[in-house]
Amino acid sequence: MLRIYDTRARQVEEIAAGRALRMYTCGPTVYRYAHVGNLRTYVLSDLIRRTLERRRVRVVACQNITDVGHLVDDTADEGEDKILAQARAERRSPLEVARFYEDAFKSDTNALNVRPPEHTPRASETIDLMIELIAGLIEKGHAYAVPDGSVFFDVRTFPAYGEISGNRLDALKPAHRIDTVDPRKRFHADWALWKPAAEGELTWDTPWGRGFPGWHVECSAMSLRFLGSSFDLHTGGIDLRFPHHEDERAQSNAAAGHEVVRHWVHGEHLLFDGRKMAKSTGNVVLLSDVVAAGLDPLAVRMAFLEHRYRQQMNLTWETLRAADRTVRRWRTRVAEWSESVSAPMATGYAERVESAFDDDLDTPAALRILRELERDDAVAPGAKFETFLHLDQLLGLDLSTEIGKARVLPAGAGELLEARSRAREARDWAASDRLRDELAEMGVRVADTPEGQTWT
C-alpha cells in the first residue's frame, strides 16, 4: 500500500485504506490564472489518487473553489476580498471574475491530466454550511461573537494547535506591532470565522449580522459536509501549512470532538530560474506560456515527476524543453512498439515502478526504471509497449497518442528510404549514412533494428 510523508506525524506512514478513501484538497482562489507552481499541488493529489486506484481503492475526492472570503492579508484578517479587488481592476462583476478564472483553472488541470474530483463545492454556494458550523462552535465555547458582527475562533480552547506546523501558541507573536493588535480579540492569534460588511454582492445575513465568511472556515465546512467527520487524506501546498491548515484543523476538530483528518500531506514550493514563483516577484509562468513556447503541457507534468513532491524544485525553460523531448520520444517509441509482435508485459519492470510510487511517490526512481526498460534490448518491443501503456495509468502522460496516426512521408522520401535499404543490403555504409542525413534534413528519422529499417 502507499506510504507517504505525514506532515503532522513528521514521518512516512502507510495509508491504511480499505476499499474506499476520502481525500480533500484545498482548491484555488479564483481571482487570477493559476501558475505552474500552483498546479504542482493538484498533480500531487492526482498522483496519490492514481497510485491508490491502481490498488483497487476507490478514491472520493473533494476540492473546493474559493470565490469569496480570501482577503489580501488573511494573516491579519485585513484588506479587501481578492475577488472584489480583481473585479474592480477588470471592471467586471465578482461573479464574472470568479467563473472566468474557475474555468481557466479547470482547463489547466485537464491539460495536465488531473482527474476531476467528485465534489467541487463553491464557497459562495455553501454559506449555509459555514453559518451552521460557526453557530456550533459558538455553542461549544470554541468561538465568540463581538458587537460589530464579527465571530472569532478562540484558539486557546484548542490546546493541540500547532501540531502540523510546529508553531505553538506560547511562541506565536502578533502579526503586527503589539500596539495594533485587534482589540476585539481575546487573544492575538484568534482568527475571524465571520467578518461584518455592508450591503454587497458577496455578503450574507446571519444571526450575527450581515457579512461574509473567513477563508479558513470554508474548508472546514465543506470537507465535513462532503467527506464526513473523519476522512483519510488532506493535501495542499506547503505554504498552506500555517496558518490555513492549522486553523482548519482546529475548527474541524473542535466541531467534531475528535481528530478529523488522519494524514496531512504537503507539496513543496516551486522555484523558477532559482526564484520564488509569485506575482509579487514578477516571476510567474502560466501553463499557457508553456504551450505558447511550443511545448506540450504534459511536459510540465513530466518535469514534476522528475522531482519528489516534497522536494523544493527549481524549474527552468531548459528543464521543460528536456521534459518535452522525453514525452515526445516515449510517445514515438510506444507507437513504434505497437507495430511489433504482441508480448506479455515486463512484469519485473512494472513492479519496480509501482513500488517506487508506493514508496512516498518516488517518481524520479520510477522514471529511471522506465529509461532502463527503454534501453533494455533483452525485452521484446511488444513487451515494452504493454508495460509503458500499463504504467501510463500512473504517469498520466498520454503515451498512446501517437498510435494509429497516419504517417505521411515528404515527397521524395520514399525513394530515399528504398535507396538506403538497398545500400545497406549491399553493405555500402557510406551511402547509407549519407541517405540517413538527407532524410533527417527532410524531417524523417531513420532507425535500424534487427527486423530492418524503420522510420518516423
- List, as residue ranges, the binding site for ATP: 279
Q: Helix or strand or coil: residue 381? A: helix
Residues facing residue 261 across a β-bridge = 231
Residue 41, CA atoms < 13 Å, CB-side half-sphere: 22
Residues facing residue 145 across a β-bridge = 151
64: CB partners within 8 A, 6+ apart: 26, 27, 120, 121, 122, 123, 218, 219, 222, 223
Which residue type, as a one-letter code, is found at position 356?
Answer: A
Residue closest to 21 by CA, chosen among 78, 51, 61: 61
> Rounded to the nearest 10 degrees, what angle do helices 363-375 and 347-358 cross at?
170
Distance CA 136, CA 131 (A): 9
Q: Cβ distance 298 to 369 under 8 Å? A: no
Q: Helix or strand or coil: residue 194? A: strand
Q: Cβ distance 439 to 453 under 8 Å? A: no
- Bind-site residues for Zn(2+): 26, 219, 244, 248
Sign of CA dihedral 29, 34, 35, 39: positive
85: CB partners within 8 A, 6+ apart: 31, 72
Exposure string over 47-75, b if 16+ CB within 10 A, otherwise e: bbbbbbebeebebbbbbbbbbbbbbeebe
List, in sequence order, every beta strand (DSSP E) within 197-251: 211-213, 231-237
- Bind-site residues: 26, 219, 244, 248, 279
Cell of 320: 521543460
Distance CA 35, CA 69 (A): 21
Sign of CA dihedral 93, 99, 102, 106: negative
Q: Cβ distance 248 to 278 under 8 Å? A: no
Q: Residue 239: how many CB atoms within 10 A of its CB?
A: 16
Phi, psi of 65 (to 5 degrees): -120, 115
Q: How far is CA 356 from the centre of its chain?
A: 19
Secondary-structure breakdown of the chain: helix, strand, coil percentages, each rounded to the nearest 5: 45, 20, 35
